[in-house]
Amino acid sequence: MLIYDSVAKEKREFIPQNGHDVTLYVCGPTVYDDAHLGHAKSALVFDLLARVLRANGYNVTYARNITDIDDKIIAKAKEQHKKIGDITSHYIDAYHKEMAALGIARPDLEPRATESLEAMIAMVQELLQRNHAYRASNGDIYFDTASDAQYLSLSHRIQEECDRQQRIETNTFKRHASDFALWKAVHDESVAFDTPLGRGRPGWHLECSAMIEKHLARQGRYAVDIHGGGADLLFPHHENEAAQTRCATDRDLAAYWMHNGFVTIDGEKMSKSLGNSFFIKDALHVYDGDVLRFYLLSTHYRANFNFSEADLLASKKRLDKLYRLKKRLFGLKTVALETSFHNDLLEALNDDLNVSKALALIDAMVAHFNERLDADAKDKTAKREALANMAVIETLLGFGTKNPFEYFQHGMDATHKEKINTLIARRNEAKQAKDYAAADLLRDEILSLGVSIMDTPEGTFWERND
Ligand SMILES: [Zn+2]
C-alpha cells in the first residue's frame, strides 16, 4: 500500500511499526456549531482509509477526538444562556447523526478533551521538567519552541517568516513569537479547571498529543502509524502537536502524515436549493446521504474540493447507474464469491486512495454486467458475480448500500410517500380480492403521482420518475 506522506512530500510504502496493528489518529471537530462540508470531507477521507487498511488485513485502531472545551464553545454557551455541556452534547449528537447519514463509521475511539485532562496535565508537567516549557509571569504555561531543534520540521516553514507572521498576535508574556500556550491560567470566574497546574484551561494543541499518548501510543519510534487531518491543520496545529510529543516522550508523533485538501464552495449555485448554506444537515434535506458521500469522495483526497451543485448532480447520475444495476439484481441473495474486481478495486485504492481509478473500474463493471443482462436477463451467473462486486463496493467505498428502490424515492416528502404507500396497499388488497378493475384504477392513480411501480416476488416497490 502506498501513502503520500505530506511531511516527506512523497508516496511511501506503508509499513506499520507493529506488524499488523495499525494506529490512526485524526483531528476531530470542535463542537460549537453544525458540521459543514469541510468536517464531512475529512471524516470521509479517513473513513475510506480505515476501510482500505482493514481490507488489506490490518487490525486498525482509529481514534478521532472531540474538542468539547474551547473559547468558541464558551462564547456560544454564554450567547445562548446554556450550559457548556448542553451545547456540546447537542452538537456531538448532531455530528454523529450527520456523519452516519453519510455512511461514515464511528471511529474505534472518540476521546473528549474534558475527559483527558489528566493526560494533558501529565504532559505539561513532563515538558516543564524537561525545560521544554515555562510558566510566564501571567501564569500561562508556554511551549518553548527554541528548545526544540526540530521545530518546523513538519511544515518546513522558515523560522523568520513564522516569527513575522506571529508577531502580530504575540503577547508580551511569551519568550519567543512562535511559542504556544500549553495551559492558559484563568484568574476570574470564567470556565476553568482546578488542577495541579493551577486554575485554568488546556491549550488546543495539547489535547491531541495527550490523547494519543493516553489511548494509542505504542512502543517504538513513533507514537502512531498515521496522523491525519485537514491541510489547514499542518501549521501550526500539527507542528505543535509533533513538538509536544517529541519533547515529552522522545518519540516522533507519527510515521506517516496525511492531509486532505481544502474545501471551497461555489456560493451562488449553492444558494438555489440549499438556502446559501453549506451545513451538512441542510444538504441532507436536499440530497441522499449516499449521493453526498459519493460526490465528496469522487475527488482525490489531496486535491482541493470545490462544491458545486452542477458537479453534484453529475455525480448523482453516475451513482444512479450503480443503483439501476442493483435494482436488476433485486431479490437475489449475495453468495461469497471471489472476483477479480475486488483485487482490482483494492489495488487502485492501495495507491494512495486513487479514487478516480476506483470509480472508473466501477463504471466499467456496471457497463459490463448491464450488457450481459441485456443479452440474457435471467443470466444467474452474471447476477451472482455482479452482486458480489456490489458487496465489495459497499464494504470498501461505503456507498451503494441502500435499497435501490428507496434510493430513487429521495426528495419526496413524507406525506407524498405515505399517500403512495397507502395506494399500493389498497391495490394489493384489490388484486388479492381479484378485483382487477379496481386494481387497475389504483395503479393509474399511483402513476399519476409521478412515480413508477415494480411488482417483484418481494413485494411492490416504487420510485420517483426523474
Ligand atoms: Zn489535533
Q: What is the pLDDT of residues 140-196, one digit of tens each?
A: 999 999 999 999 999 988 777 777 666 655 567 899 989 999 999 999 888 899 999
* Confidence at residue 170, expressed as pLDDT on a 0 to 100 scale: 58
**Verdict on whether the full-model pTM lies above 0.85:** yes
Residue finishing a domain among 260, 287, 304: 260
Asked if residue 213 and residue 87 are part of one domain, the reply reads yes
CA of 164 to the centre of ligand 1 (A): 24
Cell of 278: 453549506
Burial 225-238 (b: 16+ CB within 10 A, else e): bbbbbbbebbbbbb
Cell of 259: 492531509
Residue finishing a domain among 260, 278, 296: 260
CA of 66 to the centre of ligand 1 (A): 10
CA of 455 to the centre of ligand 1 (A): 52
CA of 380 to the centre of ligand 1 (A): 50
Asked if residue 100 and residue 80 are part of one domain, the reply reads yes
CA of 237 to the centre of ligand 1 (A): 6
Torsion of CA 178, 181, 182, 188, to 10 degrees: 170
CATH number of the domain where residue 107 is located:
3.40.50.620
CA–CA distance, 357 with 347 (Å, rounded to integer): 10
In a domain, 444, yes or no: yes
Asked if residue 229 and residue 108 are part of one domain, the reply reads yes
Asked if residue 434 and residue 400 are part of one domain, the reply reads no
Asked if residue 146 and residue 113 are part of one domain, the reply reads yes
| Contact present, 51 and 31 (Cβ < 8 Å) | no
Q: How many domains is the chain partitioned into structurally?
A: 3
| Contact present, 146 and 97 (Cβ < 8 Å) | no
Asked if residue 375 and residue 440 are part of one domain, the reply reads no
Residue finishing a domain among 368, 387, 407: 407
CATH number of the domain where residue 339 is located:
1.10.730.10
CA of 271 to the centre of ligand 1 (A): 32
Q: What are phi and psi of 200, to 5 degrees?
A: 175, -165
Please give the residue range of the domain that contains residue 420.
414-464
CA of 31 to the centre of ligand 1 (A): 14
CA of 90 to the centre of ligand 1 (A): 22
In a domain, 221, yes or no: yes
Residue the block writes with cell 456496471: 366
CA–CA distance, 35 with 291 (Å, rounded to integer): 17
In sequence order, the β-bridge partners of residue 184 are 201
Asked if residue 102 and residue 140 are part of one domain, the reply reads yes
Residue the block writes with cell 508516496: 11
In a domain, 452, yes or no: yes
Q: What are phi and psi of 49, to 5 degrees?
A: -60, -45
Asked if residue 403 and residue 435 are part of one domain, the reply reads no
CA–CA distance, 253 with 187 (Å, rounded to integer): 33
CA–CA distance, 315 with 327 (Å, rounded to integer): 19
CA of 27 to the centre of ligand 1 (A): 4
Q: Which residues are CB-neighbours of 341 under 8 A, at least 6 positions away?
A: 361, 365, 388, 389, 392
* Confidence at residue 269, expressed as pLDDT on a 0 to 100 scale: 40
CA of 241 to the centre of ligand 1 (A): 7
CA of 283 to the centre of ligand 1 (A): 27
CA of 248 to the centre of ligand 1 (A): 16
Asked if residue 128 and residue 232 are part of one domain, the reply reads yes
User: What's the one-letter identity of residue 225?
Assistant: D
Burial 104-118 (b: 16+ CB within 10 A, else e): beebebbbbbbebbe
Three-state SS for the chain is: CEEEECCCCEEEECCCCECCEEEEEECCCECCCCCEHHHHHHHHHHHHHHHHHHHCCCEEEEEECEECCCHHHHHHHHHCCCCHHHHHHHHHHHHHHHHHHCCCCCCCECCEHHHCHHHHHHHHHHHHHCCCEEECCCCCEEECHHHCCCCCCCCCCCHHHHHHHHHCCCCCCCCCCCCEEEEEECCCCCCCEEECCEEEEECHHHHHHHHHHHHHCCCCCEEEEEEEEEHHHHHHHHHHHHHHHHHHHCCEEEEEEEEECCEEECHHHHHHHHCCCCEHHHHHHHCCHHHHHHHHHCCCCCCCEEECHHHHHHHHHHHHHHHHHHHHCCCCCCCCCCCHHHHHHHHHHHECCCHHHHHHHHHHHHHHHHHHHHHCCCCHHHHHHHHHHHHHHHHHCCCCCCCHHHHCCCCCCHHHHHHHHHHHHHHHHHHHCCCHHHHHHHHHHHHCCCEEEEEECCEEEEEECC
In a domain, 6, yes or no: no
In a domain, 9, yes or no: no
Say what angle helices 340-350 and 380-396 make with each other, to 10 degrees: 20
* Confidence at residue 277, expressed as pLDDT on a 0 to 100 scale: 58
Asked if residue 90 and residue 149 are part of one domain, the reply reads yes
| Contact present, 455 and 465 (Cβ < 8 Å) | no
Asked if residue 339 and residue 438 are part of one domain, the reply reads no
CA of 280 to the centre of ligand 1 (A): 22
In a domain, 4, yes or no: no
The total of other beta-carbon atoms located within 10 Å of residue 11's CB is: 12
CA of 303 to the centre of ligand 1 (A): 21
Residues with CB under 5 A from ligand 1 (ion): 27, 208
CA–CA distance, 78 with 70 (Å, rounded to integer): 13
Asked if residue 290 and residue 186 are part of one domain, the reply reads no
pLDDT under 70: residue ranges of the chain: 164-171, 267-277
In a domain, 181, yes or no: yes
In a domain, 80, yes or no: yes
